Amino acid sequence: MITKAYKGSISQKLTLAIFFITSITVLIGYTIAISLYIKAQKEDDIHLNSTIQSVIAQDLAKLIFLNNVTAAADITAKLKAFKGLNAVTVYNSKHKAIYEYSKNQEYKPFINSCNDNTLRTYKDSIELTSSIFYAGNKIGCSRINLHFDSIFSIIKKHLESMLVFYFFMLLLSLILAKYYAKRFTKPILYLADFLDSIEFTSSLNRRINIKYDDEFGKLYEETNMMLENIESSLISQKKAEEELKFLQQYDALTGFANKELFLKSLQIQIDKKKENIWHFMFCLNIKKFNQINELYGHTIGDILLQKLAQRIKQDFSNATIFAKIGVDEFIVCYRDVSKNRENAVGKAEKSIEILQTEVYNEFRINEKLINISLYIGINVYQDERNSSEDILRATDAALHMAKNEDKNLAFYNKEIENETLKRLEIATDLHQALKEHQFELYYQLQYKDDGSIYGAEALIRWNHPQKGLIPPVEFIEIAENSGVIVAVGDWIIKQGCKQLANWGKDDRTKEWVLAINVSSKQFDDYLVSKIKNAIVKNGINSTKLKVELTESLFLENFDENVQKLQELKDYGIQISIDDFGTGYSSLQYLKKLPTNQIKIDQSFVVGMLNDTKDIAIIKSIIELGDALELDVIAEGVETKEHFELLKSLHCRYFQGYYFAKPQPIEKIKLDNSLKMQLNL
């Protein structure tokens, strides 16, 4: 780096400072010297006055007492010997001047007065008045005028020497300024050059050589520490950026490509456009993975995903792309498999055989043996779709078909695509249905064993303007997956509470209990307050409202959901478990849930007339309910035989077509003739 003279640089500032200080110092010193010179001159004149007095004292006595002319001549002769003497005047005791001496005509006799021991300073002289004594007696006084250099005369006399001295000091100060400026700025310029070289080379691992044991050494040391910190920060930042870049493209848990990178990589392969080549990919998903997290914890769940990913990568090492596109959803893609579709299908089937073995699905984690099952969707395709998103969507559709039909494996076909499009259309129409009030509630009455009406279950129906009445089985799951179920559930809560309020006004129905189904998707932070607000707004008895839970409640956030249910129960609301005995309705959940009622699934009721095992299960459920002090209601009661057999097993509550079908509220007859109709 080329060093230039900066405006206001240290060298200039130091030079100016030394110049100023030198000038002030010389001026002050010279002033002090003059002051000392004047003081010394006064002292010399006072001493000279005393000397003159002592030299001419005897002659003055002769002159005063004897008026001796010869004495005056002697005095004059002696006074001429004093070079600094200008004039002398002698006064007798009567203050009369009896003797005058003047070195030249310039000095005139003084006034006829004489005050003892006074001193006066004039422009270029000093005057002293002293008493004259003889034999101890004052006989008169003398006024002596002595030469005295003024300040201006002193300056004029010594101006040349003073200027020589000043310029000498100034020169010396400039030399010192240059020397020290160089000494002070050299380390700084060295540091500047060093930092400039770092900027030029972008190399932060260099360190400055510390060769000063002073403040500059400390500055160099701090500079090195600063560089170390910057280098460390940049390394950390670079590492963080690399990690961020990795996370933007890969799954942090397994190291597989994420969905974005997978689609990008697949599209690159598609764009190569190899015609008449068949490829395949399969998408797999762990069955009931949420339940695994709930039972064993998320840490075990994460380890399971990692081990599964390792096993997939090891056993399908010749695959083109691995990806993880969901919480527990993996993609394995094979490219350029065959020119013949049947061969490609055969290779796909052979590839996934290992996924369906029991050994493959066993994992030992922290001394726990965990068995899993997989849903697998397979797509054998050519690149005529020319979109990675379309191909992935088709593969995902096959996976969803396997889930919907609860099969381990499903191949993609046109029917699956049509089903997927149908589900997408329903999901879109659901939003419109809410806006246009296309939903309505049907009510299926529930009965006691004596034939009296216990209450009803509210069942949603979708009255589509073009497709007509759509049953819940065709849209509830889609509503849950799309999130619309929350808004639909809020509508059911409001409508159900309004109906309870109407029943409460009639003596024939005021004791009826209304059951509404609540999906696990509705169990957010606002569910409890929504139900409470609906109860308060409609002024109903909270004990007449019953919340029926679907089995999906047990899949995730179980403890939080139990807490919400407990709040509802504490408020007086009844809790019922729907479809008990199927799905995940295990005893460990039943023990933890704040339940009032369990509902025997209709699959057991329908088969109980021909299968003693169903009877045994129903009997066990009823006895379990009695032991836990829970009401037990059987659904799907379609015949008198069902009813009689359930009564013999001590079931007390019933619901089914034998008693009543789901109907709009206006079609429900409020009479007491049911016992007669059923011959009870």
Q: Are residues 378 and 431 in the same domain?
A: no
Whether residue 183 lies inside any domain: the answer is no
Q: Quote the distance between the C-alpha of residue 410 and its chain's center.
A: 45
Q: Are residues 444 and 579 in the same domain?
A: yes
Is residue 279 within 8 Å of residue 344, measured between CB atoms?
A: yes
For 156-184, b where at least 16 C-beta lie within 10 A, e where not — what string?
eebeeebeeebeeeeeebeeebeeebeee
Whether residue 1 lies inside any domain: the answer is no
Q: Are residues 520 and 611 in the same domain?
A: yes
Whether residue 438 lies inside any domain: the answer is yes
Q: Are residues 390 and 477 in the same domain?
A: no
Find the distance separating the first CA and the last CA of the chain, reported in whole Å. Answer: 110
* Strands lying side by side in the sheet with 321-324: 321-324, 329-338, 278-286, 374-381, 409-411
Q: Crossing angle of helices 298-315/289-296, nearest 10°?
A: 130
CATH number of the domain where residue 75 is located:
3.30.450.20
CATH number of the domain where residue 299 is located:
3.30.70.270
Residue-level pLDDT at 678: 52
Which mean pLDDT values do the consecutive 10-residue runs of the chain (680 residues) have? Answer: 51 74 81 82 79 75 71 78 82 79 65 64 79 76 80 76 79 76 70 68 70 72 77 72 67 88 89 83 90 87 92 90 91 92 89 75 86 90 81 89 84 74 82 90 94 94 90 86 87 95 93 92 87 94 92 70 91 90 65 88 90 92 91 94 94 95 87 48
Q: Name the domain boundary from 154, 178, 194.
A: 154
Q: Are residues 145 and 76 in the same domain?
A: yes
Domain count, the chain: 3
DSSP class of 232 = H
Residue-level pLDDT at 114: 64
Measured between alpha carbons, how far is 9 from 4 in angstroms, rounded to an integer?
10
Of 502, 455, 426, 394, which is closest to residue 597 (Cα–Cα)?
455
CATH number of the domain where residue 431 is located:
3.20.20.450
Q: Are residues 493 and 635 in the same domain?
A: yes
Q: Output the six-digit token pair for 4.
A: 């230039």
Q: Are residues 474 and 565 in the same domain?
A: yes
* Torsion angle (degrees, nearest 10) of CA 660, 663, 667, 668: 40
DSSP class of 457 = E
For residue 97, the enclosing domain spans: 10-154
Residues paired with residue 321 on neighbouring β-strands, in sequence order? 333
Measured between alpha carbons, how far is 159 from 70 in angstroms, rounded to an integer?
46
Number of residues in the chain: 680
- What's the 3-state SS for 308-333? HHHHHHHHCCCCCEEEECCCCEEEEE
Q: Are residues 454 and 332 in the same domain?
A: no
Burial of residue 640 (number of CB atoms within 10 Å: 0-12, 13-18, 19+): exposed
Q: Name the domain boundary from 120, 154, 188.
A: 154
Residue-level pLDDT at 531: 94
Whether residue 208 lies inside any domain: the answer is no
Q: Name the domain boundary from 380, 412, 444.
A: 412
Measured between alpha carbons, how far is 143 from 113 in angstroms, rounded to an integer?
9
Whether residue 67 lies inside any domain: the answer is yes
The dihedrals phi and psi of 136, each to the nearest 5 degrees, come to: 85, 0
Q: Are residues 318 and 353 in the same domain?
A: yes
The dihedrals phi and psi of 91, each to the nearest 5 degrees, come to: -120, 145
Residue-level pLDDT at 122: 74
What 357-361 contacts at long range (C-beta under 8 Å, 24+ apart), as own/partner pairs, is 360/311, 360/315
Q: Quote the distance between the C-alpha of residue 668 and its chain's center.
A: 59
